[in-house]
Chain A
Amino acid sequence: MTGMEAILSGGLQGYLVVAFLLFTIGLATVLLRRTLLMQFMGVELMLNAANVALLAFARFRGGDPQGTVFYLFIIAVAACEAAVGLALVIGLFRHRSTTDSDRAASLKQ
């Protein structure tokens, strides 16, 4: 099967498969784990999957620097998301003494 060979030898297909699998694992982390911090790490994983696909396409288009520039923008947004997301987790812990997303089901105190 030629498709499998292209994936295993590290062509563009291989990087795309790694990106898709990373995204899937991140999605599964968000869906299956209840701790908010774990879900946050799953979101980080999904952002990184997008980075892998972006940089792989940039390299196979002849080393386009635009890909790296947008990678920098994604990192900036991820850093903002990390700061605000963790602040929200700390805020939830202050009010409810829990980091379990199932226990944060009502809007009232």
Chain B
Amino acid sequence: MFLTFALITLCAALGMLLQKNVIVAGLCLVATFFGLAGLFLLLANPVAAAFQLIVYSGAIMVLVLFVIMMLNSHEEEPAQASRPVQRWLGVALAALLALGSIKLVSASAGVAALAKSGAAVPTAMTLQKVGTTLFAEHVLGFEVAGLLLLVAMIGAVALTKRNL
């Protein structure tokens, strides 16, 4: 099951990177989010999986696809100047990061110890546990997050409106 969801996630993300059409890339990103929701379910965390589906594949991707269609920019515009050196440097950097991180994770003794000590599947996360922790220990963070969302909403309206 883990391999299935991991492959869905990574293949869809790779499809997004290579896709020419921006709308198809957005739909690939939705598939990535579905794969991630599956991974969260395997992590015994149905709460996070539900939030992933509702907020990411629901709200945020609808916003992105809406903007793509509004701007009518389905295809990437032709490049002004081809920058082969920078592009290959980017590819090399990404490949180096990927290989280095895989090597680091598989060789790390601390990660292996944590994986061994926590191997037993814990009881599934419930909304009650999350809510209790959120409101008992992180009330200030919760309020600040609400304020941040309000500020972002006002900022978005102010940026897109032609003359206030």
The residues of A with any CB-CB pair to B shorter than 8 Å are 1, 3-4, 6-18, 20-29, 31-35, 37-38, 40-42, 44-45, 48, 51-52, 55-63, 65-66, 68-69, 71-73, 75-84, 86-91, 93-94, 98-100, 102-103
Q: Are A100 and B98 in contact (CB under 8 A)?
A: no
B102 at the interface (CB under 8 A from A): yes
Could you say which of B29, B111, B132, B162 contacts A12, with CB atoms under 8 Å apart?
B111
List of A residues within 8 angstroms of B155 by Cβ: 83-84, 87
What separation, in Å, do the CA atoms of A100 and B98 have in the docked complex? 27
Q: Are B36 and A37 in contact (CB under 8 A)?
A: no
Count contacts on B: residues with CB < 8 A to the other chain. Answer: 86
Could you say which of A17, A71, A87 contacts B105, with CB atoms under 8 Å apart?
A17
Q: Are B152 and A65 in contact (CB under 8 A)?
A: no
Q: Which residue of B lies closest to A36 (CB)?
A: B73
Instruction: For residue B74, give the distance in angstroms from its CB to the closest CB of chain A.
Output: 10
What separation, in Å, do the CA atoms of A64 and B52 have in the docked complex? 18
Using A59-B118, A86-B67, A99-B71 as known contacts, say yes or no to A52 and B102 having CB atoms under 8 A apart.
no
Could you say which of A48, A60, A91 contacts B33, with CB atoms under 8 Å apart?
A48
Q: Are A16 and B111 in contact (CB under 8 A)?
A: yes
